[in-house]
A and B are shown apart, each in its own frame.
Chain A
Amino acid sequence: MAIANLHVVADVVEVSEFPDLANRYGVRGVPQTVINESVQFVGNVPEAVFRQHLERAVSAG
């Protein structure tokens, strides 16, 4: 998504190296995705599900 759109910043974070982030987002399973601090989900989801989460994050402002 970050390849396709200039508004998107996509990060991969090795959570064991940054426990402060693991604590901040309550990471319990991986992969865990956080979009705009507002939407979180665990697991490698299909693109359509990811898109729904993205829409939810964007509409949450």
Chain B
Amino acid sequence: MSEENQREIKTIFEQLDHDVHLEFFTERESPIIIPGGNCPTCKDTRLLLQEVVALSDKLHLDVHEVTTTGEAARQQGIDRIPALIMSAEGVQGKIRYFGLPSGYEFSVLIGSLVDVSRADADLADETNEVLSKLDKGVHIQVFVTPT
């Protein structure tokens, strides 16, 4: 991340309110390349998140290195890596990111951190009404590509 990017993101992070907890699930770092067993984007995602959380003392990163059984990750509903769960006071549901947020998706991640921190969904009244009637789980998956 360039110094200019860091400055821009620091300015955006002035909008942060509550502390945000980033639970990051990744592979155990190893000097050995295991064919078919490596997560090609885990290391870059980890480095990127470390750089991001360094830009605000309201962001807290917990790195979980997934074991071969992946038991701790699966308990959290994580079945693939790299995976990130974002949470903060006032956030009701679960917000997760799978993969390396690069290009445009990086700015989506930064925006998401602000929204999560402010617990501000900024939804229309009609949408809140639909949500208030939910009595079972809803799983929304948005598929994106790096641009």
The residue on A at minimum CB distance from B94 is A9
Task: Tell me the count of chain B residues lying within 8 A, CB to CB, of chain A.
Answer: 44
From A6, A12, A47, A54, contact of B93 by CB (8 A) = A6
Q: How far is the CB of B36 from chain A (nearest CB, A)?
A: 14
Q: List the B side residues contacting A22 at CB < 8 Å.
A: 143
Cβ of B144 within 8 Å of any chain A Cβ, yes or no, is: yes
Task: Tell me the count of chain A residues lying within 8 A, CB to CB, of chain B.
Answer: 38
A31 to B139, CA, bound (A): 16
From B92, B132, B137, B142, contact of A12 by CB (8 A) = B142
Cβ of B64 within 8 Å of any chain A Cβ, yes or no, is: no
A-B contact count (CB 8 A): 158
The residue on B at minimum CB distance from A53 is B140
The residue on A at minimum CB distance from B100 is A14
Q: Are B140 and A33 in contact (CB under 8 A)?
A: yes
A2 to B94, CA, bound (A): 6
Cβ of B69 within 8 Å of any chain A Cβ, yes or no, is: no
Q: How far is the CB of A19 from chain B (nearest CB, A)?
A: 11
Q: List the B side residues contacting A58 at CB < 8 Å.
A: 130, 134, 138
Cβ of B145 within 8 Å of any chain A Cβ, yes or no, is: yes
From B80, B97, B115, B143, contact of A3 by CB (8 A) = B115
Q: How far is the CB of A44 from chain B (nearest CB, A)?
A: 10
A27 to B123, CA, bound (A): 27
Q: Are B141 and A34 in contact (CB under 8 A)?
A: yes
Q: Are B138 and A12 in contact (CB under 8 A)?
A: no
Given A7-B93, A12-B144: 10 more A-B contacts, CB < 8 Å: A1-B123, A3-B120, A7-B134, A12-B98, A13-B143, A14-B101, A14-B144, A18-B80, A31-B143, A35-B138
Q: Which residues of A contact B (CB under 8 A)?
A: 1-18, 21-22, 25, 27, 30-37, 47-48, 50-51, 54-55, 57-58
